[in-house]
Amino acid sequence: MRIAATVAEMRAVRRDMTGDVGFVPTLGALHEGHLSLVRAAREQNQHTVASIFVNPTQFGDPDDFASYPRDPERDLALLRDEGVDIVFLPESAEIYPADASTFVEVEHITDTLEGEHRPGHFRGVATVVTKLFQIVRPQRAYFGRKDAQQLAVIRRLVRDLHFDIEIVAVPTVREPDGLAMSSRNALLSVSDRQAALVLSRALRRAEELFAAGERDGETLRSAMRGIIAAEPQAQVDYVSVADTETLRELARVEHAALASLAVRIGGVRLIDNVELKSE
Ligand code: AMP
């Protein structure tokens, strides 16, 4: 496995690659969710490139950026075991020159949910993903459904800017008790870890109601809010039942919806989602 620390190095190794390249961008602090993206990339491409970069421009809160878990040595060992060919591990100054003045903005679908609650977040994501796509030049790039709005934003970015890259969506990997895997889970205390189960429990409730025929958006949202309200350590950022394309709240679900939520547990902000879909 090669480690490229600079754009020039990454470009040099990329030039020598023949055949399809699958790319997995990450913030590091890797877990089984990330590794399932890597495995999908390995299956579908001759070469696999992963990146580890805690992108400062997608963090609004400097404390959140500072406390984000980092463990590059462990990450590299995991990626080596998975058979990744190249890891792009740049310093911030490599990606953002001091006088960087070009940013990528995806409009409209970033107005709601994460975009609404984390102003500037998707501008940072779209900018760094554009840069990484330019540097790595993959045929395919792998993104988790865990970050459903991010996936929608990337698909829109690729379409609108004519990137010749196939975006592959990978299902959310969960702990046996239902908690969606996340690098931020490492920041939870033992009791917060237990309280964090409200996210998947609330989504399961929405799934059950939907399966039983409930189609009223507010009834579904209110059932999820009720479950979270019963957990004293949990504080809701948003609870949503939205159109899968526009990500706008639905009064009524016709065939499908994205049920999603963001909840703070002991200072750690967690997100999760499921797709509600009629048979
Ligand atoms: P992150 O390091 O959090 O930016 O995540 C990097 C990629 O891994 C993104 O495409 C995420 O959607 C994906 N990912 C994170 N957690 C999970 C999970 N539990 N299951 C599937 N994919 C995930």
pLDDT tens for each residue of 14-36: 999 999 999 999 999 999 999 99
Cβ < 6 Å from ligand 1: which residues?
Answer: 26-27, 33-34, 36-37, 143-144, 146-147, 170, 172-173, 180-183
pLDDT for the residue 251: 98
pLDDT for the residue 279: 80
Mean residue pLDDT across the chain: 98
Distance from the alpha carbon of residue 10 to the mean position of ligand 1, in angstroms: 22
Atom of ligand 1 at shortest range from CA of 145: 12
Q: Residue ranges of the domains in the chain? A: 2-170, 183-273
Distance CA 6, CA 209 (A): 50
Q: What is the pLDDT of residues 126-169, one digit of tens each?
A: 999 999 999 999 999 999 999 999 999 999 999 999 999 999 99
Distances (CA, A) of 47 to 122, 129, 219: 28, 19, 47
pLDDT for the residue 15: 97
The whole-number average pLDDT for the span 29-57 is 98
3-class SS of residue 141: strand
pTM beyond cutoff 0.85: yes
Contact criterion met (CB below 8 Å) for 178 and 146: no
φ and ψ at residue 63, rounded to 5 degrees: -65, -40
Burial of 155 (0-12, 13-18, 19+ CB in 10 A): middle
Residues with active-site annotation: 34
Architecture of domain 2-170: 3-Layer(aba) Sandwich (3.40)
**CATH T-level fold of 183-273:** Pantoate--beta-alanine Ligase; Chain: A,domain 2 (3.30.1300)
Distance from the alpha carbon of residue 8 to the mean position of ligand 1, in angstroms: 27
User: Token digits for 140?
Assistant: 């395919």
Name the residue with the closest Cα to ligand 1, atom 10: 143
Atom of ligand 1 at shortest range from CA of 27: 2
Distance CA 146, CA 139 (A): 22
